[in-house]
Amino acid sequence: MKRPGLQSKSKRTSVRLREKVKKKVRDHNRKTRKFERENAKTKKQHVPNSAPFKDQILQDALNFQEAKRAKVLERKERRKIKKGKAKAETIASLMKDVQSAQTTYNKKQAVKDQVKAEAYEQDKKKAAWFRRELKYVTSNADVILEVLDARDPIGCRSEQLESQAFAAGKRVVLVLNKVDLVPKPIVKGWLEVLRKQLPTVAFKASTQKQRQNLGRGQSASGATAYGADQLTKLLGAFAKTKGMKTGVTAAVVGFPNVGKSSIINTLARSRVCNVSATAGSTKDTQEVHIDKAVKLLDSPGVLFGGSAEKQALRGALSASALADPVEGALALLNRCDKVALALHYSTNHTDNGRSFLAQLAQKRGLVKKGGIPDCEKSARQILQDCQRGRFSFYTKPPKTATAEELTVPEFLDAKLVTTMSEEFKLDGLDDWMETSDISAPTSGKGIGLSNDGFGELEDSDDEEEDGQSGDDNEEMEEDDKMEEDVAVDFPEKKTVKFGGVSDKKMPTDLRQRQKADKKILKRKDKFETKLSESVEKALKLM
């Protein structure tokens, strides 16, 4: 029997401790093997003295080492030579690529120059053809109906066209079209101003879709025509005053996209002329018989001089036809209120036009490769919004009250104005404006724009070179004199009611949400109103 104090300790251990010891042993062995592998030393091969041909064996070993060193050096030299050749080949290939790129660029540039030259010659022929058509129309007409856009009447007038008409002994009547896009007080103001120079008639063309029987009475909202009967009576009265037994022939001329063909369709009560929102849809002269006493001549849009950006802002040139739409958009943005534009497009406020174009491109997903904003596409969209009426602008008539204070063309004298006022009876022509229900915009909101005077007809290159300095001076004088305000309205967002029921029947969360939306809209409208009333800067249309 063992004594209690001499009992030995048990060798039993826990599984955890046993596995821990095994792991440490494995790690130690692995580290040892790695150390031996990395620090391994080549064992020297000894040749025993008793071996026959010992000297020959040692010499062969030395020769083998020398050959091995020579191969390594040869490999290094070969690598250096190859690297040098690669450098030389790289420079030669780069020079070759540069030369080929230069040749390709020269070829493309030559093609572009040829295309530009052909386009220039084509434009010259087209301008000459337009002038011939215009001359034919004015020579075969008794009355020239010059159609003006009610939003910018002065910008749509052509001093050269009117002077040519009066030189040929014709009479000119101004037709103020699209009066539904302008508040009635503004229309009345422009009628008062323009009638001190030429007979002027307010007009709203019909926008009905059918081919025949275009009505002039009450119809769908926005489709009703106004001023058609008054214009027909005016022409008939002129024919009676002049004693024309065969009736009167009126030529409808004016700036592209002012609504010439729409006016003819409204008077004829049929879609006899092609109508399009794109400028230049009318290509040829067309005769339309309204009745026995009135015959109309539809003519292509008058080509006006000036830059492509200026024509695009006036709607005479499509935004898609601009080679550089960014310049036209910047010309518009630099003269618009940046805060109002930011609210309209829901972008951040910025004073830089290019930054605004980049923000708009990113917001609408117009991005190039590498995430670069496509400013050209955003610029085209802004110009298209301006041309399609999403910027609802209108020019305010000048505040002058007398005809002497207005900018009157040189070919208009007091005697001629008096004679035309006697030939054309304008009494009662505006009665329809008092009783009509045209949904014209209000003049409460807007940002300031400006007018840059009469439009100009395109002439030949020689005439442009001879009178270039004089035209520049005249344009500068007209810019100083014509500083009318233009109001631009932004469309308001309409609130949608919940199922057409009252707020009491509406769920609580939706009713609270609608109240919050109403507060936000009211705050936004109040801010826009204050902003529009404080803006006095004039925007000069290019």
**What average pLDDT does the segment 217-221 reach?**
47
Best CA proximity match to 144, nearest among 123, 102, 107, 175 = 175
- Predicted confidence (pLDDT) at residue 468 exceeds the cutoff of 50: no
| Measured distance CA(309)–CA(332) in Å, rounded | 9
Best CA proximity match to 166, nearest among 147, 141, 191, 196 = 141
User: Residue 264: what are its φ and ψ, rounded to 5°?
Assistant: -65, -40
User: What are the structural domain ranges in the chain?
Assistant: 72-127, 140-307+390-534, 318-387
CB 148, CB 172: distance < 8 Å: no
Q: Model confidence over 36-80: pLDDT tens digits?
A: 988 887 777 788 888 888 888 889 989 999 999 999 999 999 888
pTM: 0.56
| Measured distance CA(534)–CA(229) in Å, rounded | 41
Q: Strands 392-395, 248-254: parallel, antiparallel or unpaired by DSSP?
A: unpaired
The average confidence (pLDDT) of the chain is 72
User: Residue 194: what are its φ and ψ, rounded to 5°?
Assistant: -70, -30
At 68, list the tokens.
């091995």
User: Residue 397: what are its φ and ψ, rounded to 5°?
Assistant: -65, 155
User: Residue 296: what are its φ and ψ, rounded to 5°?
Assistant: -110, 145
Q: Model confidence over 347-364: pLDDT tens digits?
A: 888 888 888 899 888 888
- Predicted confidence (pLDDT) at residue 368 exceeds the cutoff of 80: yes
Best CA proximity match to 195, nearest among 526, 464, 430 = 430
| Measured distance CA(6)–CA(460) in Å, rounded | 130
Instruction: Identify the CATH number of the domain defined by range 140-307+390-534.
Output: 3.40.50.300
Q: What is the 3-state secondary structure (H, E, C) of 353-410?
A: HHHHHHHHHHHCCCECHHHCECHHHHHHHHHHHHHCCCCEEEECCCCCCCHHHCCCCC
- Predicted confidence (pLDDT) at residue 456 exceeds the cutoff of 60: no
